[in-house]
Amino acid sequence: MSRVLAFVDTADLSPTSGIHGPEFVEEMVKQFGFQKFPQTLEEFDSSKGIEFLIGRIGRRAITKLVIWPNTLVIEGRSNTTECKEALREMLEWATERFKLSYTPKMIRRYAYVSDLTFSSSAPLLDIFPLFSRIADKTGRALTEIWEEPIKYDLLDLKIGHDPLARSWGIAPFQIARQSQHKFSEGKYFSEAPLPTDLHVELLEEYEAGIVALQAKK
């Protein structure tokens, strides 16, 4: 999953004549093929997020578009670069179709969330000798308690900011074992508040570092 957040005052995008909600939705569905879209008065409440689900722009699949008073959020299955490009194209189309007051400079900044699943033969979570000893001792104790072989190991790594240091939280950077897979399969999930390309770059850097550490043992 790739998510891009564009921080913009959406009220400033509207033309002076305003936009008729049902007409806007009808044209959005016709242009981008959304399978779920606002149909009731409650669903047109931007304070709760106006949602469009499962659409497409060109070859780019869009899983979600949400319009908030101060933010536009778009999600897709490719990467954040394509999501950002899709949002730009949608804004340009809407500007032409509805005479919006949009210019690229109106977007104050962008934020990102990138979710990836991947495989690695490197022991990505085997980096804390002290914690590994605790896990080993816990497993041996549980083996006695449950009278069956039980092995404990680190489940995930997560770094993030102090949640009290800013008003709005930012997603952590984490690497975790994928559920529904044995540890021996080397299947992982990672989330980062970064563009997808940088996310992948940092994961590759981390994996290479783990391989180098293992080679020194």
Q: Exposed/middle/buried for 166, CB within 10 Å: 0-12, 13-18, 19+? A: exposed
Contacts of 59 (CB under 8 A, 6+ apart): none
Looking at residue 78, what is its pLDDT? 87
Mind giving me the DSSP string for 144-205?
HHHTS-------EEEE---TTSSSS--PPEEEEEPTTS-GGG-EEEEEESS-HHHHHHHHHH
Q: Confirm if 50 and 66 have CB atoms less than 8 A apart.
A: yes
Q: Dihedral through CA 171, CA 194, CA 187, CA 208, nearest 10?
A: -130
- Read off the tokens for 208: 């290479």
The pLDDT tens digits for 77-102 are 989 999 999 999 999 999 999 888 88
The mean pLDDT of 29-46, rounded to a whole number, is 91
Beta carbons of 167 and 177 less than 8 angstroms apart: no
> Among residues 198, 175, 199, 196, which one has the least CA distance to residue 187?
175
pLDDT of residue 214: 83
pLDDT surpasses 90 at 11: no
The whole-angstrom separation of Cα 157 and Cα 177 is 9
Average pLDDT, the chain: 92
Name residue 112's beta-bridge partners. 4
Residue length of the chain: 217
pLDDT tens column, 155-179: 999 999 999 998 889 999 999 999 9
160 residue type, one letter: G
Report which of 91, 79, 127 is spatially closest to residue 6, judged by C-alpha positions. 91
The pLDDT, as a whole number, for residue 17 is 63
C-alpha 81/C-alpha 45 separation (Å) is: 29
**Alpha carbons 145 and 147: distance in angstroms, whole number:** 6
Region 19-48: mean pLDDT is 89
What predicted TM-score, i.e. pTM, was given to this entire model?
A: 0.88
Residue 128 has pLDDT above 90, yes or no: no
Q: To which residue do tokens 């490009």 refer?
A: 85
Indicate if the pLDDT at residue 16 is higher than 70.
no
